[in-house]
């Protein structure tokens, strides 16, 4: 056995030697066109088949690949120590641009970026850009939430909207607030009930949370988690629901009113090409309905033609900037004014949002 | 705020539904442990059962085959554990942990093509009675056949261990394999059977998740329930009836904390999530103070390697 291993090792050595030789020849021959070696890496928090968050990032990667750029990806990478190891490995193995696609990768991304100044990093939904080779990008999902709130406010009979929340971070709280404000506008009696599940991804728990909200009288369910379990639970219970991150219609054809769809593909292609051609710059991108990074799934005909028309108009106005999701007056739960009448919340305030608006029940867990 | 009597019925019904995988896996593991084998691979066997059941359902479109197949897959994967620990005499703890890691990886690989396929509706029994009888309706009726089986299982297990000759043999093998062997009992064979049975129950527990509870395949969908089942066996001090009670408490905490949030009670969510584990530790501390109570049900040779001297 040992002997065989040695032989294999030797063989591998020769193989590697030849590989280097061949690449050296290629490099000499095509040194002008170093683009052939350009590689993009992706780090995902869930499996590519979650039909939610990671699925959409993977679609973006497919678009980059289709644009003729080599890519690799690592899926189901836990947020934490493992993430740094994976990102470092990608950087070491010759990737020129690395997309890290979950909030929890923020610190590991910046840490690795420090050690690899020649590699470009793109971190999704974060705010830390500690080194010049780190960009951040996110989508204005709250614009989609405004549309969901409008629909939910019109569709509910019990005036109770159930919301499954993951972690108490600004992104999630922003969604809850945007939805509640829009629902209140069309239905002043609306109540938002929230259940925190402290996970992005646990179908069993997400289903139980949906059921708990339905048992408490919610007849519209929405979620800021990644699996399709909540919409399936809603379908079974005969209440309304919304798809999250991707079009989840086929999992609950009767129940789903529409879906918020994250479309990362154009951004990924643009940034990958920029990095390849040397025009990549550090930036903080926050795109919404206008740029198409946030898109809406088909509207359920059960909403009625009038409501569909109304929502489509609102979608257009949000995209053109005529309507803003956070337009004053906005009050917090205690009645203190957050945004004055006639003003809209600026991006700084949105990015750091950490209080509920009036009308949301309960406290934000610490 | 609807805390009326019919709502409490619905609540108990959903607690029962959420405790089924815990009851199944813990009852299976209990038999394995009573024969003196500690199999920490519960999570791995469950996840293999979940993907096998779902895959078979998609391929054959037959729920019966899917359920039986998931149990068989649990048997097959526990056979690996049995062979390693009983025939090759490897360490139980290390082998069990390896089995869990292996199971999670293998299931993800097998499941690649089954992600994103909507599941099939599993038939529920007496659904009309569920609606028509207040309070008792949602508790007693409108469940899947697997739930009724799960709730009968602890009583059957109790009867088996206390009243049958085979049960006595299992207990003897778990308490003193050497004496059992001297009595002419084939210790290794008995332990193999108990391991395979445990595997079948864990496979079924996994299939309950992927076919009935949240009908779809998702990577890592057992999400730590196997570990809770393991804690549950200790919590129950190896008594089948207490497994049932414990599973309802553990399942109840999860459901209750979600409902309490929905109702609007202000409780620290993180604390409630940790409660099942905390309770296990407390029970361990309490029972370890009374040695008679431990001796009553604890398999004395749990986790010890047995080999027949020739």
Number of domains chain B is built from = 1
Helix pair B5-34, B187-207: axis angle to 10 deg: 150
Q: Check residue A299 and report its DSSP letter.
A: P
In a domain, B107, yes or no: yes
β-bridge pairing A256-262 and A294-296:
antiparallel
Question: Across chain B, what does the average pLDDT equal?
Answer: 88
Q: Cα separation of B32 and B157, whole Å?
A: 12
Q: What's the rounded Cα separation, in Å, for the pair B97 and B42?
A: 9
Chain A, 214-273: which have a CB under 8 Å from a chain B CB? 215-218, 227-229, 232-233, 250-251
Interface-testing mutation among A74, A197, A203, with chain B (most B C-beta atoms within 10 A): A203
H helices of chain B, in order, are 5-34, 42-60, 63-82, 92-110, 127-132, 136-140, 145-163, 165-175, 177-182, 187-207, 225-235, 240-263, 269-289, 291-297
Start-end of H helices in B35-141: 42-60, 63-82, 92-110, 127-132, 136-140
**B272 part of contact set with chain A, CB < 8 Å:** no
Is residue B131 within 8 angstroms of chain A, CB to CB?
A: no
Answer whether A78 touches B (CB < 8 Å): no
Among all residues of chain B, which has the CA nearest to that of A366? B268
| pLDDT tens track for A283-294 | 999 999 999 999
Closest CA to A122 of A41, A47, A53, A48: A41
CATH code assigned at B197: 1.10.3470
User: Residue A304 belongs to what H/E stretch?
Assistant: none
The structure tokens listed for A132 are 């010049």
Per-residue pLDDT band for B224 (boundaries 50, 70, 90) equals confident
DSSP one-letter code for B111: G
Instruction: Tell the CATH topology of A36-139+264-287.
Output: Rossmann fold (3.40.50)
Nearest to B262 among A193, A199, A206 (CB): A193
Q: What pLDDT score was predicted for residue A78?
A: 86
**With an 8 Å Cβ cutoff, is B227 touching chain A?**
no
Q: Taking 70 as the threshold, does the pLDDT of residue B309 lie above it?
A: no
Q: What is the CA radius of gyration of chain B?
A: 20
Domain interval for residue B252: 5-297
What residues of chain B lie within 8 A of the CB of A196, using their CB? Answer: 261, 269
Rounded to a whole number, what is the distance in Å from the CA of B259 to chain A's nearest CA?
A: 5
Q: What is the 3-state secondary structure (H, E, C) of B82-97?
A: HHHHHHCCCCHHHHHH
CA distance A104 to A136: 13
Report the pLDDT value the prediction gives residue B32, as an integer from 0 to 100. 96
The pLDDT value given to residue A1: 41
B115: which chain A residues are within 8 Å (Cβ-Cβ)?
Answer: 47-51
A194: left (phi over 0), alpha (psi -120 to 50) or beta: beta
| Residue carrying the six token digits 């879906």 | A259
Secondary structure (3-state) at A365: coil
pLDDT given for residue A12 in this prediction: 56
Radius of gyration of chain A (CA): 23
Whether residue A362 and residue B269 make contact (CB cut-off 8 A), yes or no, is no
What is the phi-psi region of residue A271: left when phi exceeds 0, alpha when psi lies from -120 to 50, beta otherwise? alpha
What pLDDT sits at residue A28? 46
What percent of chain B shows pLDDT beyond 70?
Answer: 95
Q: Is the pTM of this model over 0.95?
A: no
Residue B3 has pLDDT above 80, yes or no: no
pLDDT at position B49 is 97
pLDDT band at B74 (very low <50, low <70, confident <90, very high): very high
In a domain, B303, yes or no: no
Put simply, the chain A residues between 278 and 307 with a CB less than 8 A from any chain B CB are: none
pLDDT digits (tens, 9 = 90+) for A238-294: 999 999 988 988 889 999 999 999 999 999 999 999 999 999 999 999 999 999 999
Q: Return the sign of the alpha-carbon dihedral for residues A224, A227, A231, A237.
A: negative
Which of B10, B55, B143, B261 would best serve as a mutation to test chain A binding (most A beta carbons within 10 A)? B261
Task: Please check whether residue A109 touches B, CB under 8 A.
Answer: no
Element (H or E) spanning A40, and its range? strand A39-43
- The rounded percent of chain B whose pLDDT value lies above 90 is 55
Q: Spell out the domain ranges in chain A.
A: 36-139+264-287, 141-254+294-351
Q: What's the average model confidence in pLDDT over B140-162?
A: 93
DSSP letter, residue B298: -
Using an 8 Å CB-CB cutoff, list chain A residues near B269. Answer: 196, 198, 365
Taking only residues 144 to 203 of chain B, the set having a beta carbon closer than 8 angstroms to any beta carbon of chain A reads none
Instruction: Give the Å distances, CA to CA, from B1 to A215, B134, B253, B260, B304.
Output: 10, 18, 19, 10, 53
Q: Residue ranges of chain A with pLDDT lower than 50?
A: 1-2, 4-5, 27-34
Handedness of CA B93, B96, B101, B102 (dihedral sign): positive
Residue of B nearest to A248 (CA): B116
- Read off the tokens for B138: 């949602």
Cα torsion A124, A73, A267, A288: sign: negative
Local structure of A138: helix, strand or coil: strand
Cα(A123)–Cα(A104) distance, integer angstroms: 10
Count of C-beta atoms within a 10 Å radius of residue A144: 30
B60 touches A at CB < 8 Å:
no
- Average pLDDT of the residues in B20-25: 96
Chain A positions in Cβ-Cβ contact with residue B221 (cut-off 8 Å)? 203-204
**Tokens 């039909």 map to which residue?**
A51
CA atoms within 13 A on the CB side of A280: 25
Verify whether the Cβ–Cβ distance A197 to B258 is below 8 Å.
yes
- Residue B120 near chain A (CB below 8 Å): no
What pLDDT, on a 0 to 100 scale, did the predictor assign at position A33?
A: 41
| Winning range, highest mean pLDDT, from A18-22, A151-155, B87-91, B253-257 | A151-155
Which of A288, A292, A271, A263 is CA-nearest to residue A60? A263
Q: Which of A208, A247, A333, A356 to mutate to test the interface with B (most CBs of B within 10 A)?
A: A208
pLDDT at B51 over 60: yes
C-alpha separations of B208 from B198, B201, B214 in Å: 15, 10, 8
Give the list of residues 6+ apart from residue A87 with CB closer than 8 angstroms, or none: A43, A98, A100, A105, A108, A109, A112, A121
Tell me B209's DSSP state: I
Q: Does domain A141-254+294-351 have CATH number 3.40.640.10?
A: no
Strand A220-223 relative to strand A134-139, pairing? unpaired
Q: What is the pLDDT of residues A103-131, one digit of tens each?
A: 899 999 999 999 999 999 999 998 899 99
Look at the block and give the residue holding tokens 């905390």: B278
Per-residue pLDDT at A126: 87
Mark yes or no for CB contact A215/B11 under 8 Å. Answer: yes
* Contacts A251 to B, Cβ<8 Å: 118, 216
User: Taking 90 as the threshold, does the pLDDT of residue B34 lie above it?
Assistant: yes
Residue B310 counted as domain residue: no
pLDDT category at B280 given cuts 50, 70, 90 is confident
**Contact criterion met (CB below 8 Å) for B16 and B143:** yes
């Amino acid at each position: 056995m040992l002997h065989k291993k040695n032989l294999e090792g030797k063989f591998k050595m020769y193989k590697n030697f030849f590989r280097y030789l061949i690449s050296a020849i290629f490099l000499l021959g095509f040194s002008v066109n170093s683009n052939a070696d350009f590689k993009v890496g992706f780090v995902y928090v869930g499996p590519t088949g979650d039909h939610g968050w990671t699925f959409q990032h993977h679609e973006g990667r497919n678009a980059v690949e289709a644009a003729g750029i080599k890519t690799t990806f690592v899926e189901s990478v836990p947020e934490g120590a493992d993430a740094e190891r994976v990102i470092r490995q990608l950087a070491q193995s010759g990737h020129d641009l690395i997309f890290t696609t979950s909030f929890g990768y923020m610190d590991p991304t910046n840490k690795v970026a420090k050690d690899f100044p020649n590699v470009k990093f793109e971190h999704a939904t974060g705010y830390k850009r500690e080194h010049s080779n780190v960009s951040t990008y996110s989508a204005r999902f709250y614009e989609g939430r405004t549309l969901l709130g409008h629909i939910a406010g019109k569709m509910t009979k019990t005036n109770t909207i159930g919301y499954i929340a993951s972690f108490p971070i600004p992104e999630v709280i922003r969604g809850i607030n945007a939805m509640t404000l829009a629902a209140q506008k069309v239905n002043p009696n609306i109540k938002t009930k929230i259940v925190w599940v402290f996970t992005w991804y646990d179908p069993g728990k997400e289903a139980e949370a949906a059921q708990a909200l339905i048992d408490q009288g919610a007849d519209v369910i929405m979620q800021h988690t990644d699996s399709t379990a909540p919409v399936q639970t809603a379908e079974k219970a005969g209440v309304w629901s919304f798809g999250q991150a991707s079009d989840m219609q086929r999992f609950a054809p009767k129940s789903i009113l529409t879906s918020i769809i994250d479309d990362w593909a154009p951004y990924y292609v643009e940034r990958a090409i920029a990095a390849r051609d040397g025009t990549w710059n550090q930036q903080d991108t926050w795109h919404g309905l206008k740029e198409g990074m946030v898109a809406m799934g088909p509207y359920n005909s059960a909403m009625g033609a009038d409501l569909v028309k109304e929502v489509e108009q609102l979608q257009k106005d949000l995209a053109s900037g005529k309507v803003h999701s956070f337009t004053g007056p906005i009050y917090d739960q205690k009645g203190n004014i957050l945004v004055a009448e006639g003003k809209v919340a600026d991006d700084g305030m949105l990015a750091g949002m950490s209080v509920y608006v009036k009308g949301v029940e309960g406290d934000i867990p610490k | 705020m609807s805390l009326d009597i019919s709502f409490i019925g619905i609540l108990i019904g959903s607690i029962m539904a959420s405790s089924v995988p815990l009851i199944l896996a813990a009852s299976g593991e209990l038999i394995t442990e009573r024969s003196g084998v500690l199999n920490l691979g519960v999570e791995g066997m469950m996840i293999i059962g979940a993907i096998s059941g779902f895959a078979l359902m998609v391929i054959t479109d037959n729920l019966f085959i899917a359920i039986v197949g998931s149990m068989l897959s649990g048997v097959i994967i526990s056979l690996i554990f049995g062979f390693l620990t009983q025939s090759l005499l490897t360490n139980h703890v290390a082998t069990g942990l390896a089995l869990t890691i292996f199971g999670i990886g293998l299931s993800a690989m097998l499941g690649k093509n089954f992600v994103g396929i909507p599941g099939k509706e599993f038939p529920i029994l007496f659904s009309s009675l569920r609606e028509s009888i207040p309070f008792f309706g949602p508790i007693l009726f409108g469940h899947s056949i697997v739930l009724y089986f799960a709730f009968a299982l602890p009583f059957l297990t109790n009867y088996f261990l206390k009243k049958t000759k085979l049960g006595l043999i299992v207990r003897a093998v778990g308490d003193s394999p050497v004496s059992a062997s001297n009595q002419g009992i084939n210790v290794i064979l008995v332990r193999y059977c108990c391991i395979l049975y445990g595997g079948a129950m864990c496979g079924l527990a996994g299939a309950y998740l992927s076919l009935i509870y949240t009908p779809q395949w998702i990577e890592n969908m057992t999400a730590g329930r196997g570990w809770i089942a393991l804690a549950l066996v200790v919590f129950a001090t190896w008594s089948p009836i207490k497994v049932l009670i414990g599973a309802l408490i553990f399942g109840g905490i999860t459901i209750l904390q979600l409902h309490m949030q929905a109702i609007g009670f202000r409780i620290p969510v993180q604390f409630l999530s940790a409660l099942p584990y905390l309770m296990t530790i407390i029970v361990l501390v309490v029972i370890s103070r009374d040695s008679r109570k431990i001796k009553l049900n604890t398999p004395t040779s749990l986790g010890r390697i047995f080999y027949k001297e020739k």
